[in-house]
Chain A
Amino acid sequence: MSLRNRELLNLVAVGLLTAIGFASVYIARSDPSELGATSLTYAGIFMSLYLAAHLVVRYAVPYADAVLLPLTALLSAIGVTLIYRLKPDDAFRQSLWIVIGVILFAVVLIALRRDFRILEQYKYLFGVTSILLLMLPALPGIGQTINGARLWVKVGAFQFQPGELAKIFLIVFLAGYLRDKREVLAQGRLKDFGPLLLIWGAAMLVLVQTNDLGSALLLFGIFLAMLYVATGRAAYAAAGLALFVAGAAFVYHFVSHVQERVTIWLTPWTDNPVYCAQTGELALRQDCGSFQLVKSLYSIGNGGFAGTGLGKGTFTTTSGDPIIPYLNTDFIYSAIAQELGLVGAAGLLLVFMLFVARGFRIALLADDGFSKLLAAGLTFGFALQTFIIVGGVLRVIPLTGITLPFVSYGGSSVVSNFILLALLLLVSNRANLQAARNRP
């Protein structure tokens, strides 16, 4: 079977799953009258959106990987279903963002279908744009601080997180720059490290400016991973990590927000009241600073092995007040873990694993340095972002508010991840095409 037909078949399977997911939310809401029509319509619209994406893939990148698009469809279907279950109004907006994401996905594919490596020529433009985007939230007037982190930009009614797009631009820049300089860097002369130290400084700056350990860790982690792939020197990655830890420790002492996050991570529960920065009074930490994390853990724990079932989880008090804040963005994983249980949560992580495995496979198959670095960087960024948010929710690392790719509610995240997917498919298409040509 051809790659594209396989993709189509996978998409049909995802469409069925989407329909079942929506149906079960309706059943749980005991609203069977709407069941047939609405949920099937929803699944139908969802399916046709991805069928359109599929057709664009057929036209622009016919040799691209056949699994990534269906996996994306599955992730976004899980996301929309959960968001619909948690906050129906947001689900409509999220669907709109997916439509915009798919449109941008198509634009990128069609524009770069002949040779995406043209991007390499504009690497510095991408680099500078990336830095500018990162600085945007710091600008007075348009910058927004939400939940303690300065990650947002607001223009009129339009609100977005430029960091998400900056991440992709940074990866494009690094892929081009490192391909260029990899031999020089591998020799290890000190003067060649200037630009890299500059990036380290930028990451620290981002950290201080945004108050957000997560974004800084994500950007710097991507940078170190790509540096390692380019030079083959594990020592660089280790030294970089040490630098980051040192820098973070320094920041830790001066930024109370970061300090608090770490304290919450280490001891979310206290037996005696401690000082509560939010109210200025004494309170148990689980009732104050760490209540989000603790409530999220309760949500996960309540899921158990099989979960409560879609639509049957507990997220509000009996009078309807929400128990967990930011449930459909930062804490969507704890909602999934409660309703679908260990089985569903592990299944979701498996989908992420498959996505990551396919991404690295593309990097391995690609035959030029830029493509390899680009695919590896994008994939690792995707994996690391998943780890940072889910690991934060699970108290593996300090909790920071970034989105779960394709699943969390959030326009900037959805749109930039569709661009990420488009770039991966472009690399894949070229790699498979080259491989087919080289075959005797």
Chain B
Amino acid sequence: MNKQITRLALTGLGLMVALVVATTYWQAWASGDLADRQDNQIQRVAQFTIERGEIRGRGVTWATNRREKKGGRTFYFREYPARRLAAHVHGYSTQSRFRTGLERSMNDYLTGQNANLSTVLDTFVDKAKGATIKGNDLVLTLAPRAQRAAQEALGGRCGAVVALDVSTGKVLTMYSSPTYDPNLVEEDFDLVTGVRAGCKRPDALLNRATAGLYAPGSTFKVVTAAAAIDSGRYTDDSSFVDPGYCEVYGKRVNNYDTSRPFGRLDLHTALVNSVNSVFCNIGKTMGARALVSYMKRFGFYEDPPLETPSNEREPSGLYKDGTLFDPKEDTEVDPGRMAFGQERLLVTPLQMAMVAATIANDGLVMKPFVVERIVAPDGSVVQRTTPDELGRAVKTETARTVAAMMKDAVEEGTGTAARLSGVTVGGKTGTAETGIQGLNTTWFICYAGKDQPQVAVAAVVEQQNSTGGQTAAPVAKEVVQALLGSASNS
């Protein structure tokens, strides 16, 4: 019988070995996947025993911790002292609703679990000593004054404002309305979702600045003008005749105001006065694919780069049946309508701010960022963000020519509401019909600076019954004032 007993013993021990292998699988191989699962309640609770890093910057504490002892354990619950001011940027970290915003995407840094050998060793030693793990702080680039200016200017209206530092890509303002109080998410989620605002679908949790998709309206003419001039086919004094409408596929597309055709005019004047027919003809000549290739150079067709989670950012471009659509043939898209911002174009405020910033930055696209640096508990800098170029969208001369057009649009054209004394402002208005009579999505994108362009702003307001010049331009102006005021103070 001993032969059988030996074999049985090997079987029995083999079963035990299988258990060791399976345990190793779950604890080493698959543990990361398990930890990432949204329904992992243990992970969620365990995270509260870590003293999460603060989110702060420029004199404001965006997120901090409330220490609480429960059942012999110390928990660190999140508190957001600035409440609604930049909720969409930093997001929330809760037990019942998990995490959003930077709280989600930067979780590894905030919990000190970023894969840097020295921090891993530190946390291991801390664990062994039984000490509380401390996370790293995030220092943001947001300017609180401008953030507040955006909040006040938008008021109860739905929309968003993004402001970028022209030469670096720093996000100075990112405000989405309606906003929410992240302190209420854990206990009073109904108050967050039940918010009322001046639009059909308020969805307070949506970051409209990076994930709100809007028809760009005439602000898109900046892209078309840049593409037209950069291609070498047009100059700012190329001559056009405006009959008050443009004919596309045998159908008339009217200007905003058809009663007053401009007659003979040049491209510069056409942008200053936002003449649809001129851009319509440029689009027909250049073709949709040429426009799309320029859009891509400005950053369209990709998630706008930022440190927030990728599911909170949407790419701008042509959309077809709810998904991004890259035409293979010129005939798939109406290039005339597209050139002045209609067709099926959908864009995010962040993307349009990038367009304005690129024009103001001599055609160089800067990568937007909102986390300026990451600081360890001992005060040392774990990581500092250095400005990064995404590439060149258009030639320097092209950018300067378009910038001059935008400047005149504010001084004498559609964007006069954004004029500021002592500051050079160049901008472009946009008024996109929503399909409902009398309700428009209104836009204003601009750059501004004392001598050089310093900041670029994109403002969008939903469901307005007048133009971008009347509704969005004043919002952008308030933010520019707050930014340049604070810039001169610092």
Contacts and interface: CB of A to CB of B under 8 A. Distances in A.
Interface of A: 27-31, 225, 228-230, 232, 269, 284, 286-287, 294-295, 297-306, 308-309, 312, 314-320, 323, 337-338, 341-342, 345-346, 349, 352-353, 356-357, 360, 363-364, 369, 372-373, 376, 379-380, 383-384, 386-387, 390-391, 394-396
A346 B23 contact: yes
B72 A320 contact: no
A301 B27 contact: yes
Interface in B14-72: 15-20, 22-28, 30-31, 34-35, 37, 39-43, 45-46, 48-49, 70-72
5 residue pairs, one from A and one from B, having the closest CB atoms: A301-B34, A360-B9, A383-B12, A394-B22, A387-B15
Contact of B42 (A225, A287, A323, A391): A323
A286 B16 contact: no
B27 A228 contact: no
Contacts of B41: 295, 298, 317, 323
A29 B48 contact: no
B8 A360 contact: yes
B2 interface: yes
**A contact face: mostly helix, strand, loop, or mixed:** helix
Contact of B20 (A298, A312, A346): A346
A228 to B, nearest CB: 6
Nearest to B25: A394
A376 B5 contact: yes
A240 to B, nearest CB: 14
A316 B44 CA distance: 11
**B contact face: mostly helix, strand, loop, or mixed:** helix
A360 B5 contact: yes
Contacts of B130: 27-28, 309, 312
Contact of B8 (A28, A352, A353, A376): A376
A294 B39 contact: yes
B124 to A, nearest CB: 8
B13 A356 contact: yes
B42 A314 contact: yes
A26 to B, nearest CB: 11
B8 A380 contact: yes
Nearest to A382: B12
Nearest to B2: A364
Given A318-B45, A320-B71, A300 B26 contact: yes
Nearest to B34: A301
A86 B448 CA distance: 63
A254 B41 CA distance: 34
A301 B35 contact: yes
Contacts of A345: 23, 27
6 contacts: A301-B35, A308-B46, A314-B49, A342-B24, A349-B19, A364-B6
Contacts of A341: 27
Interface size grouping (class) on chain B:
35 or more
B75 A300 contact: no
B3 A232 contact: yes
B127 interface: yes
A384 B15 contact: yes
B117 interface: no
A286 B40 CA distance: 10
B5 A229 contact: yes
A107 B77 CA distance: 55
B19 A300 contact: no
A323 B45 contact: yes
Q: Which of A28, A303, A318, A391 has the most CB of B within 10 A?
A: A318
B259 interface: no
B95 interface: yes
Contacts of A342: 23-24, 27-28
B115 interface: no
B4 interface: yes
Given A301-B26, A312-B130, A363-B5, 8 more contacts: A295-B41, A301-B31, A302-B35, A342-B27, A346-B24, A360-B9, A364-B6, A383-B12
A318 B23 contact: no
B52 to A, nearest CB: 14
Contacts of A300: 23, 26-27
A298 B19 contact: no
A259 B195 CA distance: 45
B436 interface: no
A92 to B, nearest CB: 19
A390 B42 CA distance: 20
Nearest to B47: A314
A361 B35 CA distance: 42
A356 B9 CA distance: 8
Contact of A298 (B1, B8, B43, B72): B43
Contacts of B128: 306
A324 B80 CA distance: 31
Nearest to B6: A364
B23 A306 contact: no
B12 A391 contact: no
Given A302-B35, A363-B5, A376-B8, A391 B16 contact: no
A230 B2 CA distance: 10
A165 to B, nearest CB: 22
A225 B2 CA distance: 13
A357 B35 contact: no
Given A318-B95, A342-B23, A394-B22, A304 B1 contact: no
Contacts of A395: 22
Contacts of B34: 297-298, 301-302
